[in-house]
Amino acid sequence: MCVSVACYVRVSTAKQNLDRQLTSTKEYAEERLGADLTDIEIYRDKATGTSTTARDDYQRLMEDVEAGEVDAVVAHEVSRVARSISDLETTADRLREAGVELHIVSEGLVMRPDEEDPYQRALFQLLGVFAELEANIKRQNIREGLAARRESEEYRHGPAPLGFTKNDGTLVESEDYQRVCEVLDQVVRGDMSKRKAANELDTSRRTINRTIEERGDLYGL
């Protein structure tokens, strides 16, 4: 039976590519939920995942959910929905109250409003904890990395690393810093080649290599 499916995809910066998530969620909707293209609505955000309130299409999705226009929500992974356990729980509760299923593709997780599976719910909560923990660890690693760089000769005399500028000798995140972090993270995960990363960031593969191997602490890698 065909259902009305909302595919929710998100990246953190405007220049990142949503293709992988779009393919993953649409194929899932078609193959697992029996939806065709007329049954699928795409909701896409290009914004940080730390808070759902700053995401326009997430807000539109939840409005449609509560208006009864959606039967199932599909996301590629839990961290695309939220990077904090509180936002994740809020989303799950709103979907459940509206009678909407939640499908997480990469983790193979399905939450149905008419089924109370304690294992599934515990797994969902655990994934949310891990997503929040990962975000917090990255922020801490970046702070520690910056502190360590302040003690080095390279920091005082060398050029600013990728994604940074210098202001009176102090490293400052540039406007594209978050984009740099996301691209490097995709390289480390194997989702993007170093050649493509170099093109995306308008730099060389040598710089990408050095950044990952020697300066990963500045980007939470």
pTM of the model: 0.60
Say which CATH class 5-121 falls into.
alpha beta
Least Cα distance to 103 among 134, 132, 70, 131 occurs for 70
Look up tokens 């065909």; give the residue.
Answer: 2
Each domain of the chain, given as residue ranges in start order, spans 5-121, 150-218
Q: Which two tokens stand for residue 173?
A: 């995140």
Residue 54: DSSP 8-state? G
What is the three-class DSSP state of 162? coil
What is the three-class DSSP state of 46? strand
d(CA 207, CA 209): 5
Question: What is the pLDDT at residue 178?
Answer: 79
Residue 126: which residues within 8 A CB-CB, separation 6 or more?
A: none
CB atoms within 10 A of CB 131: 22
Average pLDDT, the chain: 79
Question: What is the pLDDT at residue 212?
Answer: 87
83-131 pLDDT, tens per residue?
677 777 788 889 988 999 999 998 888 888 877 667 666 766 666 666 6
CATH topology of domain 150-218: Arc Repressor Mutant, subunit A (1.10.10)
Q: Which residue has the higher pLDDT, 181 or 120?
A: 181
C-alpha atoms less than 13 angstroms from C-alpha of 144 in its C-beta half-sphere: 10
- 14 φ, ψ (degrees, to nearest 5): -65, -25
63-72 pLDDT, tens per residue?
999 999 999 9
